[in-house]
Amino acid sequence: MGQIPQQLAFAAKQFLETVLAIPGACMSDKGAQQMPNVVIVNVGQVQTCAFNCPNPYQSSVSKHLSKIPEIDAVFLLTDEDNIVHVYSVTREFQERMYDKLIKQQNRVEQDFPGTIFDFHVRAHQGRQANRAVPFGCEPVFLR
């Protein structure tokens, strides 16, 4: 477990409290958040807050989709037909991102060849990222 910069800690704390209903996620006196279910992933100069989920696809989705800087958050939802829906949340729809996104989505599918994935892109347009995806989605990462 590592320490999270104050700005990211605040976003993670807000995310945990609103999406996962975990009130008062511990804030240290140094302004860095300590959370047992959070892993920090460095992608270049950007730190990503990745959540440890029981979902077996979380690691692959986080590893591949966090490489795309335009994606602010990713959520997973497995439906009753066992289709894994992957929601990539961006600030606005950006056409230039799609080639990179499709390449990384293909890598996720290669990691789980017997699984049906349905990839979605949602724009949060300044709202909290969790408001851009269906209720019940599991957070994978949040920038």
CATH number at residue 122: 3.30.300
Where in the sequence is the domain holding 84, given as residue range(s)?
6-142
- Whether 38 maps to a domain, the answer reads yes
pLDDT at 16 over 60: no
pLDDT at 70: 92
pLDDT at 57: 84
- Single pTM value for the model: 0.64
- Whether 1 maps to a domain, the answer reads no
Residue 92 DSSP label: S
Provide the pLDDT confidence category of residue 109 given band limits of 50, 70 and 90.
very high
Provide the number of structural domains found in the chain. Answer: 1
| Helices (H) then strands (E): counts for the chain | 3, 6
pLDDT at 46: 52
- Whether 131 maps to a domain, the answer reads yes
- Whether 27 maps to a domain, the answer reads yes
Which strands make up the sheet holding 117-123, listed edge to edge? 38-43, 46-51, 138-142, 71-78, 84-90, 117-123
- Whether 75 maps to a domain, the answer reads yes
Q: Tell me the mean pLDDT in the region 56-73.
A: 89
